[in-house]
């Protein structure tokens, strides 16, 4: 097998990234029934999202790759905070859509991605990384140095 490479996404990765997001959704929500039309609509929307996101200053997608195959990824949204008097304001990162293909799990790929993201965020002097893990993801994040923080609140619209 090829060497595992960690890198940021390029536009030629869009097809695999869209496929992986679809697979992740179906894996986590097996009760979903997706019609062909819904799948086409999703594919169009995801391609548009990724075309805008990749290379922008607001999103970074880190991925793990063996040869030509993307085996894991993490999406990061850069969030700029409102400045506050008397202190330097640093942006923070919202981490989402963390996924490793099932056949590559248990090999430390997710932890390697988490380490690369942490090092990269520290080098760019971000304030913190925030993630809302699914129930099964909490152990992974705790193992990788994350800790629970105050419960966020939301207003469903």
Confirm whether 149 is domain-assigned.
no
Instruction: List the structure tokens of 4.
Output: 């595992």
| Residue 110: CATH number of its domain | 3.40.630.30
Bridge partners, residue 6, by sequence: 64
Q: Among candidates 33, 61, 79, 66, which has minimal Cα distance to 120? A: 61
State which residues of the chain have pLDDT below 50.
Answer: none
Are 90 and 127 in contact by the 8 Å Cβ rule? The answer is yes
Residue 152: the pLDDT is 75
Task: Give the Cα-Cα-Cα angle 46, 12, 34 (nearest 5 degrees).
Answer: 30
Are 77 and 96 in contact by the 8 Å Cβ rule? The answer is yes
Confirm whether 154 is domain-assigned.
no
Residue 1: the pLDDT is 56
Are 93 and 129 in contact by the 8 Å Cβ rule? The answer is yes
- Number of domains within the chain: 1
Confirm whether 63 is domain-assigned.
yes
Q: Computed over its alpha carbons, how large is the radius of gyration of the chain? A: 17
Residue 134: the pLDDT is 76
Classify residue 52 as left (phi > 0), alpha (psi -120 to 50) or beta: alpha
Q: Going by C-beta distance under 8 Å and a sequence separation of 6 or more, which residues neighbour residue 125?
A: 90
CA 62 – CA 99 distance, rounded (Å): 11
Confirm whether 148 is domain-assigned.
no
Confirm whether 155 is domain-assigned.
no
Confirm whether 150 is domain-assigned.
no
Write down the pTM of the prediction.
0.90
For residue 100, give its domain range.
4-143
Confirm whether 153 is domain-assigned.
no
Confirm whether 64 is domain-assigned.
yes
């Amino acid at each position: 097998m090829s060497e595992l490479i960690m890198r940021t996404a390029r536009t030629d990765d869009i097809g695999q990234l869209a496929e992986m997001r679809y697979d992740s959704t179906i894996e986590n929500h097996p009760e979903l029934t997706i019609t062909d039309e819904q799948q086409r609509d999703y594919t169009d929307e995801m391609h548009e999202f990724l075309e805008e996101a990749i290379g922008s200053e607001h999103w970074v997608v880190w991925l793990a790759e063996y040869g030509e195959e993307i085996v894991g990824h993490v999406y990061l949204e850069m969030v700029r905070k409102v400045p506050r008097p008397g202190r330097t304001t640093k942006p923070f990162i919202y981490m989402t859509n963390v996924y490793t293909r099932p056949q590559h799990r248990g090999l430390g790929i997710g932890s390697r991605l988490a380490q690369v993201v942490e090092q990269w965020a520290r080098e760019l002097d971000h304030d913190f990384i925030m993630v809302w893990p699914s129930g099964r993801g909490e152990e992974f994040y705790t193992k990788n140095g994350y800790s629970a923080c105050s419960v966020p609140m939301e207003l469903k619209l």
